[in-house]
Amino acid sequence: MPLYLQSVLEASPLRSGLLLLPFIVTGAILGVLAGVLIHRTGHFREIMWIGTFLLTLGFGLFISFDAYTSTAKAVGFLMLCGAGSGILFEAPLIAIQSQVEQQDVASATATLSFIRNIALSISVIIGGTIFQNSMNSRGPFLRDAGLPDNIVHLLDGESAMANVMLPSTLDNPAWELAAKEAFAYSTRNMWITYTVFAFLSFVASLFIEAAHLGTEHTETVTGLRKEGTKTETANP
């Protein structure tokens, strides 16, 4: 998202960070509210349905971002996507903890955290690859718009991320618009990919087993499992 905010909306790095606050704050607030709702009702499956749906809808709306998108529209869609992300912060953890034996809760929690971290790394790689390949494919379009080869070279896949502020420095309005359209096209391909992943998560959430969190608790002693030992008595 900062790629789009800086290249197309001409936001400075500081302003692009501020524009992400609606996403972060909305996610934090909805995450707390979802936790309170799960605590009071004992239901988490419906919460995950809502979260994955909002996440899919939010990424799907990102696909409409183009060279003419307003800041207000971007912020509004960011809040919607942030709501889905925040709702899903705690619910999957509670879901997996409720489906395993008490002595396996720690292992299940660590596994979920590991999967999230790996998925984040893979997501960055996939998104970056899609963005670079998309910018490479826009080379002929930029040349047809009249951009000289030295500027087109600065906007190719390997250099585009380092030159996100370049469109705002172009004096020719036609060149500026063409560069913005190239960035918008490339980020749009990322949003399509992430929308597919979000939709798959929504479909997967439909298969989560129904469970109701109760008030009964089972105490489990943590630590190493004690093994039986034999005591030998030496003869005097």
Tell me which residue has tokens 């790996």: 118
CATH number of the domain within which 193 lies: 1.20.1250
Task: Answer yes or no: is 195 within a domain.
Answer: yes
What's the domain count of the chain? 1
**Closest residue by Cα to residue 77 from 100, 59, 101, 98:** 59
Task: Answer yes or no: is 215 within a domain.
Answer: no
d(CA 7, CA 170): 12
Give the model's pLDDT for residue 219: 57
Q: Residue 76: pLDDT band by 50, 70, 90 thresholds?
A: very high
Give the model's pLDDT for residue 188: 93
Give the model's pLDDT for residue 62: 94
Could you tell me the pTM of the whole model? 0.80
What mean pLDDT do residues 13-41 have? 90
**Closest residue by Cα to residue 4 from 28, 20, 22, 24:** 20
Q: Residue 211: pLDDT band by 50, 70, 90 thresholds?
A: low
Q: Whole domain around residue 189: which residue ranges?
A: 2-205
Q: 199: which 2 tokens?
A: 């939709």
Task: Answer yes or no: is 235 within a domain.
Answer: no
Tell me which residue has tokens 């960055």: 124
The sign of the dihedral angle between the CA atoms of 181, 184, 188, 190 is positive
